[in-house]
Chain A
Amino acid sequence: MIKIENLHASIDGKEILKGLNLEVKPGEVHAIMGPNGAGKSTLASVLAGREEFEVTQGSVDFDGKDLLEMDTEIRAREGLFLAFQYPVEIPGVSNINFLRTAMNEIREHKGLEQISAKDFMAMVREKSKLVELDAKLASRAVNEGFSGGEKKRNEIFQMAMLEPKLAILDETDSGLDIDALRIVANGVNTLKTKDNATIVITHYQRLLDYIVPDFVHVLYNGKIVKTGPKELALELEEKGYDWIKQELGENA
């Protein structure tokens, strides 16, 4: 589904990603963990197409197409979804109106007809239930006055509505209480199929009690330095990131 090879990216001349490799196949869930400043959010930003990051080397193949050649909105229409670490408040723009516009632009891109108002509203009801998002919140201005947990649930609600091929959850769990975490994880698990895939970027092992990954990667200093099964997350939790640093030091 996505194949990242030797990805180098920098911001303001400072290199953050230094040769990152990652391959995700349909039906898989990958967790990317790592200490602060390792480049986790940079990876999410580069994949989503934030223009302030400059890709200096490497390639990203997304379902046979060159992802790095695409504008942000084309990536979204091709089926890439980023759940924001800090969802933006947009006063005056109704959540469902904008989602309907987004959905129709995605459908147009795929050569599909526009969704009818009736079908759309039925979908809003079904999907908002999935993340236990009050239908009233769904129709309010985007994230305006939402609590932290509501914002994150709104991200998963949007993901449920747009049905992406590849979802990247950027620290979706940080700051969530256990109920909100459970709801968010349940949403992600319910939406999982054999044809889509998820990359979960997180700082905490806790999320992985709820979303079970097929692979855990450790991102450190701009590279994936260790990959393992889900047990790796537990090991990280127990030993901390210093363990990785030491291990790398020994290898160096």
Chain B
Amino acid sequence: MNAMTESAVKRFTESIETGFEKGIMDEASRQNAISKLAELEFPTTRVEAWKYTRVAKISKKDFSIQQLSINDTLPFKVNSLESHVIVFVNGFYQKELSSFSAEDGIVISPLSQTEEIKPNSVETTTDEVFSTLNTAYATDGIAVKIAAGKTLSKPLEVINIQTGESVISNTRNVIIAEGSSSAHIILGYYSKDAHQCFSNVISEITVGANAQLTIDKIQYENNENYTVASEQVKQDKDSTFSINTITLDGELVRNNLNIEVLGHNCETNLNGAYLTKGKQHIDNHTVVDHQVAHCESNELYKGVMDDDSTAVFNGKVFVRKDAQKINAFQSNGNVLLSGNATVNSKPELEIYADDVKCSHGSTTGQLDEEAVFYLRARGLSDKNARKLLVSAFIGDVLDKICTDEVRAHVDKMLLDRFGWEF
């Protein structure tokens, strides 16, 4: 780095420092992160993990932390779903819009208001500039703990809304499902009158022995906004963790889903659907790290890209040396609706054990024109024929969303944004 030029990270942090008052990390971790930021740079496309995703749109802007409020959660609340609701606007807890009740053995709280649950320091997350920024400037996020043996009686909806001009929200979520507990959590990311805002999110998720945790992650911030969202998941023995990542909007979205499978007999399900148009850029990086034997993981990501949009899929599955009898399946499928749409798909398996069953595959193509003609020859319009084929393609991922109300919520957004009925 040339000493004469000011670091982009320094300029970036100076801009957000002005609106920052109080974070949720302990002071030592925060100071550690701040000093680390002085040495970090934004990733370039020379870095393998960012090869297809340029972050200049984010790194060149001057964002600020702004505590603003909005009046209602419509239309972001999942319709007719009985749920606990907790709302964050620009990374700040908004009490008036939240409604959740106490349940025996269960903590639901903004991180800023609980002593019981603390985020981990940055050392446990990847060494990226975005996670370090998050540690240094996180303002709030959800804290959930389901005590051993307890079941969350109804789903928890965490509604994150961006609003305003050039706002950065650094949100930190901590979700702990203790042994033999069970919960369904919906993490929704939305925008309202938001222009060039940036959501920088880290979720730390712990799935205890024999626990069952399902997360639906729904990303619907409008196409002027940027997101980098990472989940750091640790799974203990006999547990089942499922996450459905549905990305429907956003100018630049990067998801990092990192799952460490640390105990035997775990099941891990990662499903993703991404639908893009205009100049959107959606990047999903996933890692499933099988460290022990007798586990199963299923990964299915599908995308439909239109106009000049781009998608990136990089799915890595590690099977460590002693992790025998692993069944790991990974599949990525893409349909390009336009000649200018792009996808970069890279499925990767790294296997160091010798008695495993693993498969991966990636397909990219256009809609089958012969099928389009067949449907038109039966009277369907060209548009409806294509719509039907797209919905058939992506439908098997959306079918993984197990709650009818959440599915209807996603279908509604698909209809609003793409005019597609599913």
Contacts and interface: CB of A to CB of B under 8 A. Distances in A.
Interface string A105-117: 1100100000000
A90 B389 contact: yes
B378 A98 contact: yes
Given A73-B382, A101-B384, A92 B392 contact: yes
30 contacts: A49-B377, A50-B373, A72-B373, A72-B376, A73-B376, A73-B379, A73-B380, A73-B382, A73-B385, A76-B379, A84-B374, A87-B374, A88-B373, A88-B374, A90-B368, A90-B371, A90-B374, A90-B375, A90-B392, A92-B391, A92-B395, A93-B371, A93-B389, A98-B375, A98-B378, A98-B388, A102-B380, A141-B392, A158-B378, A162-B378
A191 interface: no
Interface of B: 368, 370-371, 373-382, 384-385, 388-389, 391-393, 395-396
Contacts of A73: 376-377, 379-382, 385
B379 A77 contact: yes
B380 A101 contact: yes
Contacts of A101: 380, 384, 388
A98 B385 CA distance: 9
B213 to A, nearest CB: 29
A88 B380 contact: no
Contacts of B389: 90, 93
A233 interface: no
A242 to B, nearest CB: 34
The 5 tightest CB contacts between A and B, nearest first, are A92-B392, A76-B379, A102-B378, A88-B374, A72-B376
B378 A91 contact: no
A160 interface: no
Nearest to A86: B370
Contact of B392 (A87, A93, A105): A93
A201 to B, nearest CB: 15
Nearest to B395: A92
A130 interface: no
A48 B392 contact: no
A99 interface: yes
B83 to A, nearest CB: 30
Nearest to A107: B379
Given A71-B376, A73-B376, A76-B376, A88 B370 contact: yes
A82 interface: yes
B380 A98 contact: yes
A76 B374 contact: no
Classify the secondary structure of B's interface with A.
Answer: helix
A82 B373 CA distance: 11
A221 to B, nearest CB: 27
Contacts of A93: 371, 375, 388-389, 392
A48 B388 contact: no
Given A73-B380, A101-B380, 19 more contacts: A48-B377, A72-B376, A73-B376, A73-B385, A76-B376, A76-B379, A77-B379, A82-B377, A88-B368, A88-B370, A90-B392, A91-B392, A93-B371, A93-B388, A99-B378, A101-B388, A102-B379, A105-B380, A141-B392
* Among A87, A88, A158: residue with most chain B CB under 10 A: A88
A75 B378 CA distance: 9
Nearest to A74: B379
Contacts of B392: 90-93, 141
Interface string A53-77: 0000000000000000001110111
Given A93-B389, A98-B388, A105-B384, A88 B378 contact: no
A87 B373 CA distance: 11
A135 to B, nearest CB: 20
* Among B379, B380, B382, B385: residue with most chain A CB under 10 A: B379
Interface in A149-163: 158, 162
Contacts of A71: 376, 382
B68 to A, nearest CB: 43
A206 B135 CA distance: 79
A101 B387 CA distance: 12
A105 B376 contact: no
B259 to A, nearest CB: 28
Contacts of B385: 73
Interface in A113-166: 141-142, 158, 162
A85 to B, nearest CB: 12
* Among A48, A98, A99: residue with most chain B CB under 10 A: A98
B330 to A, nearest CB: 20
Contacts of A106: 379
A71 B378 CA distance: 12
B371 A88 contact: yes
A71 B376 CA distance: 9
Contacts of B376: 49, 71-73, 76
A103 B375 CA distance: 11
Nearest to A50: B373
Contacts of A102: 375, 378-380
Contacts of B374: 84, 87-88, 90, 142
A76 B384 CA distance: 14
Nearest to A80: B377
A96 to B, nearest CB: 12
B368 A162 contact: no
Contacts of A98: 375, 378, 380, 388
Contact of B377 (A76, A90, A142): A76
Nearest to A91: B392
A87 B378 CA distance: 12
